[in-house]
Structures are given as C-alpha cells and as structure tokens.
Amino acid sequence: MIVKFFRRGKGSGAGPLNYLLVAKGGKPREGAKVLYGDPKLTEQLINATPYKQKYKAGVLSFTEDAEKFTDKQKKDIMQRFEDTLFIGLEPDQYDILWVEHSDKDGRLELNFVIPCQELRSGKSLQPFYAGADLVRVNAFKNIINQEYELTDPNEPVRKRLTNPYVSNAPHPTPFDKKSKPTKKEDDQIIANPESTFALKEAIDRKMRHFLEEKTLNSRSSVLYALKGMGLKVKRATKKSISVVHPTMKRNIRLKGAIYEDSFQGLSQRAHLINGRQGDYERTSESRGHRDLKTWTKGMEIKKEYHQILYGDIKSPEPLEFSVKAIESNNIPKDKIQTPASQRSYTPSI
C-alpha cells in the first residue's frame, strides 16, 4: 500500500466528486462505492470554503484485490489514517469522504476528499503538508503494510533505477516514456530546461541510455556523466546526488538506484538487490519498532499543533429542553354577534 496526496485542490467541489463517482456520459462510475461520508455535503463544504486551498484529495492504493479485504479491515485502515491526520481533533471538526475504487484490475483504492476548513470555527484546516507530515504518514504506511502483510513498496526488489515520481509531479509523469529518439532533444532540454521536472526527466532518460550502452558501471562514472551534461555536482550522499544547473537557483536532487553510492552497473544489479532484500527481511522487526516510535512521536507533535491552532474552540452547547404541563386554553366564550353581510347587488331572476 502507498499513500498519495494529489496536487489538485483549488477548484469547485464538483471536480473531485465527479472524478470519484461519475463516469463519462454522466453514468455512475463502475466499481465506485461510497464507504463513509455524504458526497453532497462534502461538495457543499468545499464550495463554501473561502480559502485558496479548498480541499485535499488523495488515495490509499493497494496492489491487492479489493475482495481480499473485509469491510472491518477497510474501516480499520481508514480510521487509523484519519487518526494520523487529525489527531487532537474531534469528529465534528472535520469532514471526510471515503470512496472505494476497484476498477483497476480489481485492485483496492481507498480515495478520500477533505474540505480544508475546520468546521466549528471556519478556520483553515490543512490536513497534509509534506514538510511536517510526510514522515508520520510514511510511518503509518509502513505499520499498516507490515501488520496486514501487504505489498511493501520499500522492498529492494521493487526499487527502480530512477525515481519515476518527481516530488509533487503529476502522476503518471513522462518518466514512463521511453528514451527520446534523438540525443539532441534531451541535450536541448538539459541546456535550457523549462522546469525542474523537465530537467530531471531528461537527465534520467540520458542515464538510462548510458546504462543501455554499458557506460555506467560505478558511482564515479555516474558523476562523470552528470558533469558531461554541464551540471555541477553539489552533493553526493549514499542515496542520492544533488546537482546545480546554471539557470536554476535551487539544487536538483536525483534519486534512484543509479544515483546511489553502491551502484555498480547492470551486471551487479541482481546480486545487489538479492543481498539487500535479505538484509531488509532480516531487519523487519527492528524497522517495525522504529516506525511505531516515529509515528508515535509524530502524533504527539501534530496533536500539540492542532491544540495550539484549534484548542480554544469549544463544541456548541447542547440545546436545553424542559417539559412543562400546558394548561388548555380551549374554554368556550360568548360568541360575538356580527351583522350579516349585505349584498349591494341582487341579480335578477
């Protein structure tokens, strides 16, 4: 299972609701089922939100079939995800809509939409901010995957040569395309990139091309190739390489097996992965303890943050009703005599 948060969130409520529940032609989307929440209420709350970020949407995506999970298991995963995001808040302080999708080869997807407004006060509510929440959410993901014995995306056997999902890039990205037919096109992009995304894509395509030509066989050959593209290597860590482009202010971080310190080319890839996979499986228990510790600490920090932001907001006082005997006022009174109405015109017979 992986957790994805989408970049969209500034439009009307009809956008995410139609995507989740409506197919082309206005028909109900096949394989879509509302598990929790009221779509109409969620749409109205999004439309009524006065902030620039009106909603946050995302998905818990599984490789396992939807039929593998019981309703109780789905509810447990959804509730624990809500607890991870909204620790310290009461259920009446936020709205969330859960919609199940199973139309992608039967795989389970638990989609969620959250209006970005705290419901008691009307203040802005930001359910997820990567800088503050990503570590805690990743720990939640790891805990659920281990507890339910789900597919673990962190396993070395699943690691890609390059990272196909640039941070915050739309999914899927052009990384999934094959190498460009001509070397000049990528050279032009690297020389004058339109964006960080475009630059990373071009670098990765060239790296895959070099790999096919068997000119990459170590970390030093990777660094040499990057310098040959006109990039300055700013930092090289065990897991990534950061480069500087002449036209960009920020460093560009490159991630994936190619950019790791232990990279030794395709000839060593299978051996390295098998070794890492064995080490990964042996440390399963210790990683579980570490994830739980990380999640618990993150929950404490998030709870304190929510208390500072919304702690002075009290729930509405319940309405007080009192039951009193009501005396009948239905006492007959003297009828007041009124003169009969007189016609001003009598029709002829």
Residues marked as catalytic: 19
User: In sequence order, which residues have a C-beta less than 8 Å from that of residue 294 and are 6 or more positions away?
Assistant: 135, 136, 139
What b/e readout covers 211-247, taking b as 16+ CB neighbours within 10 angstroms? beeeebbebeebbebbeebebebeebeeeebbbebee
Give burial (CB, 10 Å; 0-12/13-18/19+) of 177: exposed
Between the alpha carbon of residue 213 and those of residues 61, 75, 98, 254, 267, the distances in Å are 35, 50, 47, 20, 13
Element (H, E) at 244: strand 240-244
Residue 85 CB burial class (10 angstroms; 0-12, 13-18, ≥19) = buried
Q: Are 95 and 114 in contact (CB under 8 A)?
A: yes
Residues 6+ apart with CB under 8 A from 112: 57, 58, 59, 60, 78, 81, 96, 97, 98, 99
Q: CA 164 to CA 208: how far, in whole Å?
A: 12
Written as six digits, the tokens of 216 are: 């990459």
Give me the helix-helix angle, 130-147 and 284-310, nearest 10°. 140
Q: Which residues pair with 117 in a beta bridge?
A: 124
